[in-house]
Amino acid sequence: MSDIALDLPKSSSATGAIGLTREQTKNLALASLGSFLEFYEFMVFGFFAVVIGKLFFPPGLPEAVRIFQAFALYSLGFALRPVSGAIIGHLGDKFGRKRMFIVTIFIMAVPTICIGAMPTYAQIGVVAPVILLVLRMIQGIAIAGEFAGASVFVSEHVPRKQLATANAVLLGTTWLGFFLGAGSGALLADILHPAALESWGWRIPFVLGGIFGLISVYLRRSLDESPLFKELRQRRDPTRSSPFREAIQACPGRMIFVAGLASYLGTMIIILYFYMPTFLAANYGFDRASVFNVNAAALLFAALVCPLWGWVADRIGYGLVLGIGAAGLGVSLFVFFTVLQSIATVPATLMWWYLAFSLLMATAGVVPLLSAAPFPTEHRLTGFGFGYNVGIVISATAPTVMAWIVLSHGKLAVAYFALLVGAIGVVLAIATGRIPLLLNQELGK
């Protein structure tokens, strides 16, 4: 395959450590900011869900009900994602990636600040949970388009030989957002008195995250539209097209493939970093604080390793890397769950298991690329945005499924669920060889 020749200023011709010019590196960095904020805020809201439930819902309700309502709002972003992803993708394919790219981070940042500044139920009554609901709905719309938009924008800017590396950096940045979101919550919980944390301390991460988002809006104004979308505009008028209808008619199988990728990725992340800490503490007596520290270290490790797997995938193939990770995770998680009773007697070994899982989880750095590459430029963002977010909604059922498995079949049965998810990843990796990657073909012209 021939190398891509992008029209870049001579001052941008110097390449960095991952083979990108300074201009391409800037595009990648600014694209990553929104995904970082998305997952940072997602983690912060989850971390403070109990506090939010107490402050924004009627005090007469049982604590369990208030917590349930807070987590219901937490999950609302999932429910809206497919429709929002289709709408934002449709608009991005009609009017340009850059324009929607700026819009999505703006409508993510403003509600984040508002959540940190809004009055509580004690101050404005029933209006408080209503406002909170509206703000979470707006964030859900932005979240659905941000990650897909970032991946498509980056993929249409970088050379073909660095596609997996660039997308793995993007995914690694989202995990860094998870890490710093959880870390900021834990830090405030450590340094503030519980009364201060509940009174005003919980607001700090939201306000800081929102300000970071507004700064990102300003910085993204300097981005250039993607070369492939510019070329599309020269060939036809995308504003007269109907990307969603075209994607549904032309690429239904590819959208199902992308939904499968997102479901695999989301479920594995939930198993490892969200469900596992509670499962270990509740069923095997692990110290919650220790498990949290291990979990945070593993997330950071995954974020750092992700670009390395992207670099490998650019050389040996996207499907092979995905298959290595899926098979490794399925088997290692199966072994882990079956010998967990022994691991619980030596808790210090938990860190090594988690680091091994994260090393394999980082192979999912190819998922964003494999979600963008099957579609033509005409409806790439629509196909990615809708298919990927359908898969994320499917993955959101994982905690409920695993809880049911434990109740119905015992805690050891979770091992078989993890093995099944790994097997699904292997099937998707094999299918990669049969899916035409139109993005690679376009960049190889």
Q: What's the CA angle centered on 424, arms 418 and 426, to 5 degrees?
A: 105
**What stretches of 57-96 show up as alpha helix (H) in DSSP?**
63-95
CATH of 22-443, one of 1.10.10.60, 1.10.1060.10, 1.20.1250.20, 1.10.1040.10: 1.20.1250.20
So what's the pLDDT on residue 302? Answer: 94
Rounded CA separation 294/350 (Å): 8
CA angle (322 as vertex; 318, 327 as ends), nearest 5:
150
Q: Which residue has the tokens 């402050």?
A: 55
User: Which pTM was predicted?
Assistant: 0.86
Cβ-based neighbours of 424, under 8 Å, separated by 6 or more: 260, 263, 264, 326
Q: How far apart are CA 33 and CA 220, in angstroms?
A: 9
In the numeric block, which tokens belong to residue 2?
A: 């021939």
Q: What stretch of H or E contains 255?
A: helix 252-269
Encode 155-194: b = buried (16+ Cβ within 10 Å), e = exposed: bbbbbbebbbbbbbbbbbbbbbbbbbbbbbbeebeeebee
| C-alpha span between 444 and 52 (Å, rounded) | 50
Structure tokens at 121: 């139920």
Question: Number of H helices and number of E strands within the chain?
Answer: 22, 0
Q: How is residue 46 written in tokens?
A: 């989850």
Residue 165, both tokens: 């590396």
Q: What separation in angstroms does the CA of 164 have from each of 55, 95, 371?
A: 44, 26, 11
11 vs 24: CA distance, rounded Å: 12
CA distances to 132, 180, 182 from 44, rounded to whole Å, are 15, 9, 6
Give dist(CA 75, CA 46) in Å, integer: 9
**Degrees (nearest 5) of the Cα angle 421, 145, 206?**
95
- 65/112 Cα distance (integer angstroms): 24
Whole-number pLDDT of residue 428? 97
Helices 252-269, 380-395: inter-axial angle, 10-degree rounding: 40
Domain boundaries, the chain: 22-443
The predicted structure's pLDDT at residue 3: 37
Calpha distance 98→75 (Å, rounded):
28
Q: For each of the chain's 445 residues, which pLDDT tens digit applies?
A: 333 333 333 334 445 556 677 887 888 888 888 888 878 887 787 778 778 878 887 877 676 666 666 666 666 667 778 888 888 888 888 888 888 878 888 988 999 999 999 999 889 988 988 888 888 888 878 888 888 988 999 999 888 899 999 999 999 998 898 888 878 887 888 888 888 888 899 999 999 999 988 998 888 888 888 888 888 888 877 667 788 888 888 889 999 999 999 999 999 998 898 888 878 887 888 887 788 888 888 999 999 999 999 999 999 999 999 999 999 999 999 999 999 999 988 888 999 999 999 999 999 999 999 999 999 989 899 999 999 999 998 988 888 788 888 888 888 888 999 999 999 999 999 999 899 888 888 877 5
Both tokens of residue 39?
């997952």
Whether residue 439 contacts residue 380, with contact meaning beta carbons closer than 8 Å, is answered with yes
What is the structure's pLDDT at 18? Answer: 61
| pLDDT of res. 5 | 37
